[in-house]
A and B are shown apart, each in its own frame.
Chain A
């Protein structure tokens, strides 16, 4: 594993870039816990100030320090992404693996439900839920809800991977030689699936962050908790564009774009690494 990581890091610029930025963001998230200001309160500092040494990114019209707010927002957004991704991973893995291994009628039923979730435009549905729950939406709850809807695509992905693995030679050999099913799964199949899960998870996190930002910008989440989405919401509410308060509106936008790009680069470099054509050559070598 470590060898693979080192190889990816040194030769694939995207991986290097993506991973470094992600580490940076995680560090920011950790540091943000030491924020000197309470981000749920307003007017903790003077309003509408621009960059200065005391307030590195200035402050917003509600009297909050932007620098620390951005850090807390990043932490919250990452946290939310993680929760949602975790939940949707669990559902996707369970459903995908079960459907793939059991096959038959069970498979068909699960896949039909799954396809419905793919087809149904999730945006209006999420809005429906969010608009009803509006005020009680903490980070965790929002994360759970988004997670409950984001599993469909990946479940299908895992299932098709399982299906193709089932048909492979080495699986048949293992079955014929009497290996227990769960042992086959853990020792033979997992090495293929785990990297796939990682790449899919990263993609999922991207989608979740995008969803959260979108929902928050519409005012549909707990607006007192700073996340990248809520920061933009408040900035828009206070006409930050018209008043040209660039530090306020651009901070969340740029950090969001950078985070998403970094994650995306990670995920593409991992999935290119997983591409069966390149992978096979590596296996031959080893």
Chain B
């Protein structure tokens, strides 16, 4: 009953954002001066082959059909949505005729793994450290972490990944430079493979965690320092409750709520960061897929990844929003 008050507006917002985002992705390429079909054809003819004009014409038609560029703007829009509802993101041009959605499906688990692990680690550790910092404000250790976090946080994902790559995969070749697993490794649930996976995943995860921990730490610190000045914390102290209890049940439990909101807001940014990190490490996720699409000029693939990203991130936000009432009784019960 109460859920309706909370969930329905959220859901409407979700759909609206999806609508705006997908329309945006629809509009942008059509606003820009280049025509991907011509682009494609030019690339082909630039390779110096002679192509029968009639064949080129046919190819143009087919490409237009495939890219959804046939017909007037409105017609294209309808086709666009129709295809989306059937999960049809078109075929990849470089890996013709594999549908884009298939390629995404293959790369997705790697990206998800990277994202989830690094997000969990950085969010949990950052939040806990932030809570500790607020509860023991004069500890030297936390001050040190604070300085470090603040220094590292603004560094772009790419640079951090690159620096780590140089140091740990090249100068001190502790970790492999690229890939998700070694070539020729036996895939399966054996210890070797799993260890191999770890070794390859370590640097990308480290890169993301190092960058993000600072952010969560700082955010939690700010949130929690507001909570500490709230009346109920002062009162708890005045009633002689044990410090640990106050820290966990009173301070952190309340600070977590805006912290989760922060998580939801930042997901888009972190997702982008994951893609970038993957590219640097050639980690076989969506990021690398995107990169190869850029190199090959696979327009459909780029488009498809865009749409997928928008849907994915929005859905993740919705899920987080759904968790929110579980944490905040003020929303759960009116």
Query: Within the complex, are A and B direct neighbours (CB within 8 Å)?
Result: yes
Q: Does the CB pair B159–A120 fall under 8 Å?
A: no
Q: Does the CB pair A121–B309 fall under 8 Å?
A: yes
Question: Would you call B234 an interface residue if the criterion is a C-beta within 8 Å of the partner chain's C-beta atoms?
Answer: no
The distance in angstroms between the C-alpha atoms of A260 and B302, with both chains bound, is: 30
The distance in angstroms between the C-alpha atoms of A241 and B293, with both chains bound, is: 24
Residues of A within 8 A of B166 (CB): 241, 249
From the candidates A120, A132, A260, name the one contacting B17 in the complex (CB within 8 A): A120
Residues of B within 8 A of A232 (CB): 162
Chain A interface residue count, Cβ-Cβ cutoff 8 angstroms = 41
Nearest chain B CB to A42's CB is how many angstroms away?
A: 22
Nearest chain A CB to B305's CB is how many angstroms away?
A: 6
Nearest chain B CB to A43's CB is how many angstroms away?
A: 26
Chain B interface residue count, Cβ-Cβ cutoff 8 angstroms = 53
Interface of A, helix, strand, loop or mixed by DSSP: helix
Residues of B within 8 A of A124 (CB): 272, 275, 290, 302, 305-306, 309-310
Q: Does the CB pair B265–A214 fall under 8 Å?
A: no
From the candidates B159, B170, B310, name the one contacting A257 in the complex (CB within 8 A): B159
Question: Would you call B158 an interface residue if the criterion is a C-beta within 8 Å of the partner chain's C-beta atoms?
Answer: yes
Nearest chain B CB to A247's CB is how many angstroms away?
A: 14
Q: Does the CB pair B154–A264 fall under 8 Å?
A: yes
User: Mask for A129-145, Cβ within 8 A of B = 1, else 0?
Assistant: 10111001000000000
Nearest chain A CB to B237's CB is how many angstroms away?
A: 20
In addition to A121-B268, A132-B34, A133-B34, 8 A-B residue pairs with Cβ atoms within 8 Å of each other are: A115-B13, A119-B313, A121-B309, A131-B299, A210-B155, A218-B291, A241-B170, A260-B154
Q: Which B residues form the contact surface with A (CB < 8 A)?
A: 13, 16-17, 20-21, 24-25, 28-29, 32-34, 36, 150-151, 153-159, 162-163, 165-166, 170, 265, 267-269, 271-273, 275-276, 279, 290-291, 293-295, 297, 299, 302-303, 305-306, 309-310, 313-314, 317
10 residue pairs A–B, Cβ–Cβ below 8 Å: A116-B17, A123-B271, A128-B303, A132-B34, A132-B36, A209-B156, A210-B157, A213-B159, A219-B294, A241-B170
Q: Which A residues form the contact surface with B (CB < 8 A)?
A: 112-113, 115-116, 118-125, 127-129, 131-133, 136, 206, 209-211, 213-214, 217-220, 232, 241-242, 249, 253, 256-257, 260-261, 263-264, 268
